[in-house]
Amino acid sequence: MDAPKTFDRTARWLHWSMAVMIVAMLFIGVGMVASLSLRPLLLDIHRPLGLAILVLALLRLRHRRRHPPPPLPASLPAPQAMAARASHWLLYGLMLAMPLLGWAMSSAGGYPVLLPGGWVLPALAPQDPVLYSALRSAHGALGYGLFALVLVHLAAALHHAWVRRDGVFEAMAGRHRAATRVEREPPSRREDPG
């Protein structure tokens, strides 16, 4: 059986919907720090959105085990292939760690995690101001790390789409392009008939 040339529809849906959610979360996080008046509203969006990202990340990992992604192009230099794999696993780690840290931080601060419909999640950590402070610092630092990693991921995607043109971007976009770089040949010179 040949390896797939593109990610399947479920993988693409999970990727793009989570991309939108994560970018929204990063801006919501910045807004919560920057605006005291908007903080309660943004927090009410931030918590359930974070938990949705956690659930989708778990579903995405499960789906990835059952439906392996297309292989990276053979033309990709080994250090870049290793960096791509490492950055993907780091993204998965942060997609899991950030919501869990936020949930534990809320628990340690004595703030219940409320979901739409009146559901209250159980506490992940004991109420403790010192623990709350440590978890808050970790959540903030990892948030900056996630922001940087998202920018690197975006830059790599654009590099594959516009520079290498090796089919990596198209595999997630749902279009297949030959995995070889198209080299442009110089135009042939025409003989001047005159």
Q: Could you tell me the residue range of the domain that residue 49 belongs to?
A: 9-69+86-115+122-173
List, for residues 144-170, the tens digit of each pLDDT value. Answer: 999 999 999 999 999 999 999 999 999
Q: Please check the confidence at residue 140 and state whether its pLDDT lies above 90.
A: yes
Classify residue 135: in a domain, yes or no: yes
What is the C-alpha to C-alpha distance for residues 48 and 50, in angstroms, rounded to an integer? 5
- Does 3 fall in a domain? no
Question: Does residue 43 lie in a domain region?
Answer: yes
In-domain check, residue 74: no
Q: What is the pLDDT of residues 113-125, one digit of tens each?
A: 888 788 899 999 9
**Residue 81 counted as domain residue:** no
Q: How do residues 77-102 score in pLDDT, each as one tens digit?
A: 999 999 999 999 999 999 999 999 99
Handedness of CA 22, 121, 111, 103 (dihedral sign): negative
- Structural domain includes residue 54: yes
How do residues 15-64 score in pLDDT, each as one tens digit?
999 999 999 999 999 899 899 999 999 998 999 999 999 999 999 999 99
Quote the number of domains for the chain: 1
Does residue 80 fall inside a structural domain? no
- pTM equals 0.84
Give Cβ neighbours of residue 117 (< 8 Å, ≥ 6 apart): none
